[in-house]
Amino acid sequence: MSTYLQTKENITAGHFSSIYFFYGTEKYMMDDLVQQISRHALEDTVRDFNFSQFDMRDVPVQEGIEEAETVSFFGPGRVIVFQHARFLTGAKDKDMPPHDLKRLESFLDDPPPENIVVFAVEEQKVDERKKIVKKLKGVGETVEASPLQGDRLKQWIREKAKEENISLTAEASDELLGRSNSDLLTLEQEIRKCAQYVNFHGEIHAAIVRALVPRSLEDNIFQLIDAVSDSYPAKALQLFDDLLRNGEEPIKIIALIGRQFRLLNLAAEMDKRGYSQQKIARQLGVPPFVAKRLSAKAKTVKGEAVGRALSLIAETDYKMKQGAVEKKSGVALLIARLPRVLSA
């Protein structure tokens, strides 16, 4: 098993495998690796002729194999991509075409060395019990496209910034992560925006990120909680109003407020037990910089106060869903009451 970053580095250096197997929830990673293979393995003049993609939801795998076994008449080597290969998972799709897996197994026994064949499926897990999955992992280079975290995510940001001929300070990188929710596509777009601002040359500081990159919904919620815990209800209500103007629903907002307080509660408990921030991040399923922020906030709010806040949030949420209180006014009243609840 290889990592996304290792595989990308090998591809850009011109070191290719005949068979690749990509699976996971990060579509960006799989699309990027396919794009890198196409860019670096095929010459520009023949790419249109030597690059083929097959959607396994509509096309049986044996049809793609026929093309993968065909010699290219336009330069050396071809790239053939089998997308949405759900037959490698435990899915029971009734409308799946009749895939001849015996034919695929035979192909994998002796794939043409001049071609590159990619199998990709956007699923968190594949069916490890299946013979074809074991065979693919045995003969191919396998990459699990799972979310980048910690140092690997920061490495990706540095490399992406380098591609745009810029660099980011550590504070700017953290600010960018906080505003993008660690989504790679969003990060790529915002890094390019920052690069354009400095004309693709120079260093990006946190002030530039704050000026150019809008906050993510989750970051806005955390800012709102910061405001209520610091007894600034007017600022919190302004943030709530901004979220409403951006089209966010009150029910979603109160759910996220509740989630952040539950995470605060858990982070505080783990901090008391001496958990490292990396371990807190893994346990909570959040990036390390978010775990750091939660731990810092948890130190300023008493545990019993968080418990009272969660009770008030649950009560307000129930009344809103029962129609006992209008949704916008219900959340607004909650926000106005939270500072007193947290300071009591």
Give all strands of the β-sheet with 79-83 in edge-to-edge order: 51-55, 79-83, 116-121, 19-24, 141-145
Q: How many domains in the chain? A: 3
Predicted pLDDT of residue 12: 92
pLDDT range class, residue 294, cuts 50, 70, 90: confident
Letter string b/e over residues 142-170, b meaning 16 or more CB atoms within 10 A of that residue's CB: bbbbebbbeeebbebbeebbeebebebee
Distance (Å, whole) CA 154 – CA 180 = 13
Do both 294 and 261 map to the same domain?
yes
What is the pLDDT, as a whole number, of residue 224?
92
For range 104-112, the mean pLDDT: 92
The pLDDT value recorded for residue 300 is 85
Whole-number average pLDDT of the chain: 90
pLDDT at 298: 84
What pLDDT, on a 0 to 100 scale, did the predictor assign at position 24? 92
Lowest-confidence region among 70-84, 150-164, 183-197: 70-84
Average pLDDT over residues 51-56: 94
The CATH number covering residue 96 comes to 3.40.50.300
The enclosing domain of 287 has a CATH number of: 1.20.272.10
Residue 44 is predicted with a pLDDT of: 86
Residue recorded with tokens 């990188």: 173
Alpha carbons 142 and 136: distance in angstroms, whole number: 8
Residue 164 sits in a domain of what CATH number? 1.10.8.60
In this structure, are 34 and 76 located in the same domain?
A: yes
Determine the residue type at 190. Answer: E
Q: Single out the residue in 88, 116, 145 at which a domain terminates.
A: 145
pLDDT at 182 over 80: no
Enclosing H/E stretch for 110: none
- What is the span of the domain harbouring residue 198? 150-212
pLDDT of residue 90: 85
Any residues with CB less than 8 A from the CB of 228 and at least 6 apart, and which? Answer: 236, 335, 338, 339, 342
Residue of 10, 233, 19, 32 lying closest to 111 (CA atoms): 19
Least confident among 1-5, 146-150, 322-326: 146-150
* Ramachandran area for residue 202 (φ above 0: left; ψ -120 to 50: alpha; else beta): left
Residues 9 and 138 grouped into a single domain: yes
Mark whether 49 and 128 lie in a shared domain.
yes
| Whether residue 94 is found in the same domain as residue 167 | no
Residues 221, 203 share a domain? no
Domain boundary residue, one of 145, 163, 179: 145
Question: CA distances (Å), 8 to each of 17, 58, 136, 242, in order?
Answer: 12, 29, 19, 40
- The percent of residues in the chain predicted with pLDDT above 90, rounded, is 62
Q: Which of 155, 153, 156, 80 is nearest to 115 (CA)?
A: 80
280 pLDDT tier (thresholds 50, 70, 90): confident
On whether both 205 and 292 belong to a single domain, the answer is no
16 and 91 assigned to the same domain: yes
Domain identity same for 36 and 94: yes
**Final residue before a domain boundary, out of 184, 212, 240:** 212
The verdict on 208 and 226 lying in the same domain is: no
pLDDT tens, 74-106? 777 899 999 999 999 988 777 788 999 999 999
DSSP class of 87: G
Residues 41 and 121 in one domain: yes
Q: Rounded CA gap, 139 and 17, in Å?
A: 9
Q: What is the DSSP string of 33-86?
A: HHHHHHHHHS-TTTHHHHEEEEETTTS-HHHHHHHHTSPPSSSS--EEEEE--G
User: In this predicted structure, what is the pLDDT of residue 235?
Assistant: 92
Cβ neighbors of 156 (< 8 A, separation 6 or more) are 5, 148, 184, 187
The residue with greater pLDDT, 272 or 312, is 312
Residue 278 and residue 248 share a domain: yes
209 closest CA partner among 251, 167, 160: 167
